[in-house]
Structure 1
Amino acid sequence: MKIGEISKTTGIPVETIRYYEKIGLLPAPEREASGYRSYRQHHLERLHFIRRCRNLDMAQDEIREFIRLADQPDADCSQVDELLARHLAHVRKRLEELTHLEETLIQLQTACSQGRTVSECGILGGLYSEDLPEPGAQGDNHIPGTHGPNS
């Protein structure tokens, strides 16, 4: 199967497939004599796996770890459970952060009243104010080592 075909089958853009190969999430396919990549069933299965993980908001390092664990079919699955538990804790923390964000946005929106000028706008005034709560530290909303700047 050529890259365009596997892209269409999985719904993953060609550029993303090439990127997954580059970062090692997807093994490099064999090349035909013409130089075209030749993808096999295991590539298709891996791409579906990666897509499902990404749909669950998993970072590249988490996916890489799940793949590493999946490649050990006879091993104890407790590490898989631990990895998922860490991701679930991350999701729960993000939900708390998003709830806080929603509350802040609601406060800003209530500062607006109809019929005023932009210079009197409560929303813009609130955004310029130092009274707005600061979000968590940049990058502090992910599992350490799994959702870094390159994830």
Structure 2
Amino acid sequence: MKHASVLGLVVALGASHALADIVAPTEVVYENGAVATSLSGAPGDPDSGAEIMNKGAGNCIACHQVSALDHLAFHGEIGPPLDGVADRWSEAELRGIVANAKLTFDGSMMPSFYKTEGFVRLGNAYTGKAHADGEVAPLLSAQEIEDVVSFLLTLTED
């Protein structure tokens, strides 16, 4: 019984430590659009990042072509192709672009995936109605941003 209590305490402390490492969207430090430190405090998973590129709030291939994901249909042509993106941008720059591309590319159509305030007009999830009062969640979590960045870092010209 004593071991179970100690184990529970260790797990709880570890969980609270992990939560303490997450940078809130309003606390992100951008330097010329780049974000030098991990938003989640944990390494990204490129396999999860590839999944996010194809579905849900990420759905990056709706606008970008990615040869590494050519097994998926309907790659977009609105945004630039992402092949070789790891050769053009650093990890910090990619993190900043995914979190809030508008700070790097003035007038970008790319959504701000890790932003919770400062919107001009919010809709209420595909209903056509204005957003109700209250907090707005970011499109992607801190860990999802890290996962996407981890996947993007695999996209080299080699």
Q: Do they fold alike, i.e. is TM over 0.5? A: no
Larger Rg: 1 or 2?
Answer: 1
TM-score, normalization by structure 1: 0.23
**Greater length-normalized contact order (CA 8 Å, ≥ 6 residues apart):** 2
TM-score, normalization by structure 2: 0.22
